[in-house]
């Protein structure tokens, strides 16, 4: 008949065997354990008696890299107040607040998972070596889009023309309107340029307020006309490709989660006032993960923000000496176009009738209006220009 005994009784019998004179090696062989285990049982029996032979937790006594309780409490409190803050933002806030020791991103992530504030991501920890595409400096490219979801108490919904600088993530436009028609969108676009300057390029989707590309006839809509008259290159996304304007779509996500969720406004004026305050905080106080937790306004200013936005007098470049043979003068046509060395290009319809000076180099053309450099153009050989014109005339 087999007699079942507990683990503690087996350990106690092993200890008694050693105490009765049986060798450590023989006792370990009899009970099927290592000699070190028998030594450990003896030490625990001598220290605590029979209670020392009970099972113990395998949890380490200490964890050198574990976050202190006060740091964990502060991180969880920040997360409670701001549900949209992730581990990267929480680490940034902890560093800015001077918490010691500063928590790591993985430590904050584990703390949020332990307390059920985020779901564990099985794909976390991948070696991501991709580089986010962006323009090299501010004012090179603005992304524009139209978004809805701004509810009023009377049951109607407002639209907004939103715009983001591709390099700085600086919000250049967040204008509300009852209907996103061409005139309202273009008025908001013009207001953004009056406030922040004229960008080199804009990127939009293929909406009818932005382009006539998919109309019955390929006509120039008002938005395209404004771009042409101001010398702005208008880029369009491929159809059904919202990821191309990913930065403005990510701004919409922040707008919905941090500003619009659960809110209903009394009027358009009240909604615009609160939206302007939120955008000001977004631009000047809120760190942005896409640009290394920098503030968009700092990046926008450092990369060449316009003087009109800062309410400062414009800084003029010293007017160059234009007496040499490399300088020529052209009068801007009614359509804003000038022709130099067989090349035609626009300097803006708003300069129609004005005289501009062009500095002709071997490979470049620099267009000046008084002390302002308007454009720098790469020269094209006359033969290539004539071939293109001949092909167009056929």
Note whether 354 and 332 are within 8 A (CB): yes
Query: Of 158, 166, 77, 168, whose CA–CA distance to 117 is shortest?
Result: 77
Mean pLDDT of the chain: 83
Give the tens place of pLDDT for each residue, 8-31: 888 889 999 998 889 999 999 988
**CATH number 3.40.50.1820 given to 141-302:** no
CA 226, chain centre distance (Å): 28
CB 42 within 8 A of CB 18: yes
pLDDT higher than threshold 90 for residue 310: no
Q: Which of the listed ranges 187-201, 304-318, 376-390 does the model predict with the highest average pLDDT?
A: 187-201
- Residue 269 confidence (pLDDT) above 80: yes
311 within 8 A of 330, measured Cβ to Cβ? no
pLDDT of res. 354: 87
pLDDT value for 316: 41
pLDDT at 123: 62
What percent of the chain clears pLDDT 90, i.e. is strictly above it?
34
For residue 159, the model assigns a pLDDT of 94
Q: What is residue 212's predicted lDDT score, i.e. its pLDDT?
A: 85
Q: Is 187 exposed, middle or buried (0-12, 13-18, 19+ CB in 10 A)?
A: middle
Grade residue 124 by pLDDT with cuts at 50, 70 and 90.
Answer: low
pLDDT at 60: 77
CA atoms of 260 and 169, how far apart (whole Å):
20
What confidence category does residue 311 fall into, taking pLDDT thresholds of 50, 70 and 90? very low
User: Which pLDDT belongs to residue 320?
Assistant: 55
Closest CA to 146 of 114, 115, 186, 111: 186
> Taking the alpha carbons of 81, 85, 87, 91 in that order, is the dihedral positive or negative?
negative
At 350 the pLDDT is: 80
Percent with pLDDT over 70 in the chain: 86
Q: What is the mean pLDDT of residues 336-343?
A: 85
Position 126 scores a pLDDT of: 52
Q: Predicted confidence band at 190 (pLDDT cuts at 50, 70, 90)?
A: very high
Least confident of 133-142, 148-157, 173-182, 306-315: 306-315
Residue 250 has pLDDT above 80, yes or no: yes
pTM over 0.85: no
Residue 116 is predicted with a pLDDT of 84
What is the C-alpha to C-alpha distance for residues 209 and 9, in angstroms, rounded to an integer? 84
- What confidence tier does 385 reach under pLDDT thresholds 50, 70, 90? low
pLDDT of residue 323: 67
How much is the pLDDT for 270?
A: 93
User: Given 3.30.110, 1.10.3470, 3.30.300, 1.10.10, which CATH number is that of 69-114?
Assistant: 1.10.10
């Amino acid at each position: 008949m087999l007699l079942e005994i507990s683990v503690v009784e087996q350990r106690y019998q092993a200890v008694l065997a050693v105490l009765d004179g049986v060798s450590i090696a023989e006792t370990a062989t009899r009970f099927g354990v290592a000699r070190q285990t028998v030594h450990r049982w003896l030490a625990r029996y001598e220290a605590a008696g029979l209670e020392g032979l009970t099972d113990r937790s395998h949890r380490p006594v200490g964890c050198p890299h574990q976050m202190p309780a006060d740091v964990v409490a502060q991180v969880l409190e920040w997360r409670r107040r701001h549900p949209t803050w992730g581990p990267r933002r929480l680490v940034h806030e902890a560093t800015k607040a001077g918490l010691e020791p500063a928590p790591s991103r993985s430590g904050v992530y584990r703390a949020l998972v332990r307390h059920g504030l985020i779901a564990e991501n099985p794909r976390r920890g991948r070696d991501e070596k991709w580089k986010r595409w962006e323009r090299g400096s501010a004012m090179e490219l603005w992304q524009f889009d139209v978004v809805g979801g701004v509810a009023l108490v009377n049951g109607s919904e407002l639209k907004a023309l939103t715009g983001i600088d591709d390099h700085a993530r600086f919000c250049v436009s967040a204008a509300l309107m009852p209907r996103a028609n061409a005139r309202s969108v273009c008025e908001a676009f013009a207001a953004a340029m009056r406030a922040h300057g004229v960008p080199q390029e804009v990127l939009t989707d293929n909406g009818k307020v932005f382009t006539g590309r998919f109309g019955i006839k390929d006509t120039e809509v008002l938005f395209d006309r404004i771009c042409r008259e101001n010398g702005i290159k208008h880029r369009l996304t491929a159809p059904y490709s919202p990821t191309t304007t990913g930065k403005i779509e990510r701004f919409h996500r922040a707008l919905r989660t941090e500003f619009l969720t659960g809110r209903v406004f009394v009027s358009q004026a009240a909604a615009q006032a609160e939206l302007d305050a939120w955008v000001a905080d977004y631009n000047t106080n809120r760190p942005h993960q896409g640009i290394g937790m920098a503030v968009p306004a700092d990046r926008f200013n450092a990369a060449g923000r316009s003087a009109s936005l800062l309410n400062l007098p414009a800084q003029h470049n010293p007017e160059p000496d234009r007496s040499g043979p490399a300088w020529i003068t052209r009068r801007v046509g009614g359509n804003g176009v000038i022709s130099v060395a067989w090349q035609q290009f626009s300097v803006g319809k708003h300069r129609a009738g004005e005289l501009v000076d062009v500095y002709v180099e071997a490979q470049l053309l620099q267009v000046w209006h008084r002390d302002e450099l308007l454009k720098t153009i790469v020269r094209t050989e006359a033969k290539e220009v004539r071939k293109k014109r001949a092909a167009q005339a056929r």
